[in-house]
Amino acid sequence: MLRYLRVTNFAILSDVTVELGPGLAVLTGETGAGKSLIVEAVNLLRGGRASADIPRAGAAEAAVEAIFEVPADLRPRVGGVLTAAGLPLSSDDDGPGAPGAGDGPPEVAEVVVRRVIQRGGRSRTYVNGALTTAGRLAELGGLLVDLSGQHQHQGLVDPARHREILDAFAGEPAITGEMTAAWAALADVDRALAELSGDERERADRVDFLRFCVDELDGAGLEAGEDERLAAERARLVAVEDLTAGARAAVAALAGDDDGGDRLGAVDGLAAAARELDRVVRVDASLEPARRQLVEARVLAEDAAAELRRYADHLEGDPERLAWIDDRLELVRRLCRKHGGTLAEVLERGAALRAELDGLDHRETRLGELEAARATALARAEQAAAALHRSRRKAATRLEREVHRALAELGMGAARLEVALAPRGLGPHGADEVELMLCANKGEERRPLARVASGGELSRIMLALKLALRRADEVATYVFDEVDSGIGGATAHAVGALIRAVADHRQVLCVTHLPQIAAYADAHYHVEKVEAAGRTETLVKRLGAAARKDELARMLGGAATARARAHAAELLDTAGRRDGAAAPGPPPAAAAPRAGRRVRAAAVN
């Protein structure tokens, strides 16, 4: 739910703060006081477009910020959206959202949203302190706020939305999920068939190209890592003289002169040192480890000298081998330039080309396999569509019954909302065309909503649908902006009761001019336009019991007379009795706002 809202420098809203609790909150006030601006500010929090003239005169920018408390059943969905967008999971996090340790998405209990609108229309969007886009906010905002108003029934009259409404009411995500998966599998097979069933001439050209490439790579006989092995061998052949000289010099250093000279090698020196220790170790036994190490070192030096002699004796140049290596390395480099960056990538490319060529060479076999796979996938999709149709048919009956019951309470007892299901081509959402139809009066034919419903009728139909969908709709807060258009009297009481019923399951913020609706509120806020220091600004006040009765009296007759107050008290009593309890009082105290935020929605009595 929307727990905290602050709007600054937003047209005539210089600095307005509202703290909200669960249940139904109403905003009332004279026309032009600023109620619609508050609704517009809330719309920005759900990703709505920012108008260029929003900032207050003299201000460089306007700002809207809010704290949303996420209902328990929506927390995984909100966590999933934040994670997918790479946004922090809370305002205390520094890094982007990441999947939790469990199998599902992390659960998010609170979201902080801020929109800053600069003069000229540019805006900045923050979620949990991280900069993001309005588009990303719209994905999240669809779960946080649903806005319905007298000019915002487009979704209700748009047949493209009716399938979503019916499926949401059916509440069987496993069936819709199976339909989506089955269609995706069928589409994959169809794509593979299209690729294999292309133009025959293009296929023949492709086969020729593939065969040329495969023959070239097979003829080269490339082996993994051979470029590195050949490069190492080439380096040895090029440096054969240096290697020989180095090996023989090392032998001389170890074994001394081989030509009878006087220079002693390391082997003789180690032997002499060992003999000296042989002589004195009898006197001091602690020299024994050193003597033993000298003996071992002499043996190792003799072995090394023998190995180096063999190396130098067998090392010889091979110009023909060197030339062959150069040619081979050039071939490897040419094929790498042509088919891939490295030898490993060339080998991978060769395997892929062979697989594609094999598939095309065995086209008829592959076509048969794909046709069989398509038959299986089509059967699965048709079964899923049939199951979805049965689900929709049952849901349509229930939805028609529940909406008719609500419409009767709203003064439209003769009207009937019907869900028309017509067959259509199989697709990702099944094989049904769904459209909501209305028979507004007894004896008339049913027609599409857009052709028969007035603004007032649409408002009541929308309320009836919201009531029916209140348990299935995945949204935290409903905002109703003057949905009471065109109604009054007993119907207004019924509208108030229905809005109150919706508020039993989700938080509702309602802008209304009807006292019959305002009487059902858990919290009543008065929006007032005042002049201060030569400027016009809007104040929002939370009304206490006495002030609330005065406001209802004003809404009833324009002045808070004794008779109007008595009527207001009667409205509150009626609303309380219809609600099954005493007249609603103030909601539970909302959590205190963050430090540094100035609260201006004080209760007045």
Residue 238: predicted pLDDT: 82
Mean pLDDT over residues 62-77, rounded? Answer: 91
Confidence of residue 374 (pLDDT cuts 50, 70, 90): very high
Least confident piece of the model among 183-197, 261-275, 396-410, 425-439? 261-275
Q: How many residues does the chain have?
A: 605
The yes-or-no verdict on residue 483 having pLDDT over 60 is yes
The yes-or-no verdict on residue 595 having pLDDT over 50 is no
* Whole-angstrom Cα Rg for the chain: 41
Tell me if residue 131 falls in helix, strand or coil. Answer: strand
Residue 233: predicted pLDDT: 79
Half-sphere exposure of 203 (CA within 13 A, CB side): 15
Element (H, E) at 148: strand 145-149
State the Cα–Cα distance between residues 504 and 337, nearest whole angstrom.
Answer: 69
State the Cα–Cα distance between residues 492 and 519, nearest whole angstrom.
Answer: 11
Greatest distance between any 2 Cα atoms in the chain: 137
Residue 411: predicted pLDDT: 77
Mean pLDDT over residues 375-379, rounded? Answer: 96
Residue 94: predicted pLDDT: 54
Residue 535 DSSP one-character state: E
Q: Which amino acid is at 585?
A: G
The yes-or-no verdict on residue 396 having pLDDT over 80 is yes
Tell me if residue 543 falls in helix, strand or coil. Answer: strand
State the Cα–Cα distance between residues 106 and 99, nearest whole angstrom.
Answer: 6
Residue 552: predicted pLDDT: 92
Angle formed at CA 188 by CA 184 and CA 192, multiple of 5 degrees: 170
Residue 584: predicted pLDDT: 37
Residue 152: predicted pLDDT: 54
Is the CB of residue 471 less than 8 Å from the CB of residue 458?
Answer: no
Strand order from edge to edge, sheet including 477-481: 145-149, 477-481, 507-511, 24-28, 523-532, 535-543, 603-604
List, for residues 184-241, the tens digit of each pLDDT value. 999 999 998 887 776 667 777 888 888 898 888 888 888 888 888 888 878 888 878 8
List, for residues 262-302, the tens digit of each pLDDT value. 556 888 888 888 888 888 888 888 988 998 998 898 899 88
The yes-or-no verdict on residue 103 having pLDDT over 70 is no
Element (H, E) at 189: helix 173-196
Mean pLDDT over residues 483-493, rounded? Answer: 75
List, for residues 492-518, the tens digit of each pLDDT value. 888 888 888 888 888 999 999 899 999
Nearest to 212 by CA among 78, 63, 350: 350
The yes-or-no verdict on residue 590 having pLDDT over 50 is no
Q: What is the mean pLDDT of the chain?
A: 83
List, for residues 162-173, the tens digit of each pLDDT value. 898 899 889 898
- 593 burial (CB, 10 Å; 0-12 / 13-18 / 19+) is middle
Residue 126: predicted pLDDT: 94
Mean pLDDT over residues 530-552, rounded? Answer: 89
**Which whole-number Å values give the CA distances from 575 to 17, 135, 525, in the listed order?**
28, 40, 17
The yes-or-no verdict on residue 602 having pLDDT over 60 is no
State the Cα–Cα distance between residues 441 and 407, nearest whole angstrom.
Answer: 12
Identify which has the larger pLDDT, 158 or 538.
Answer: 538
Confidence of residue 128 (pLDDT cuts 50, 70, 90): very high
Beta-ladder partners of 15: 8
List, for residues 357-367, the tens digit of each pLDDT value. 887 777 778 78
Percent with pLDDT over 90 in the chain: 27
Q: Write out the DSSP string of 556-572.
A: HHSS--HHHHHHHHHHH
Phi, psi of 443, rounded to the nearest 5 degrees:
90, -10
Residue 102: predicted pLDDT: 52
Residue 127: predicted pLDDT: 94
First to last CA, the chain: 26
Mean pLDDT over residues 513-525, rounded? Answer: 92
Least confident piece of the model among 57-71, 150-164, 341-355, 418-432? 150-164
Q: Write out the DSSP string of 454-487.
A: -HHHHHHHHHHHHHHHTTT---SEEEEESTTTT-
Residues 6+ apart with CB under 8 A from 221: none
List, for residues 567-585, the tens digit of each pLDDT value. 889 888 888 865 544 333 3
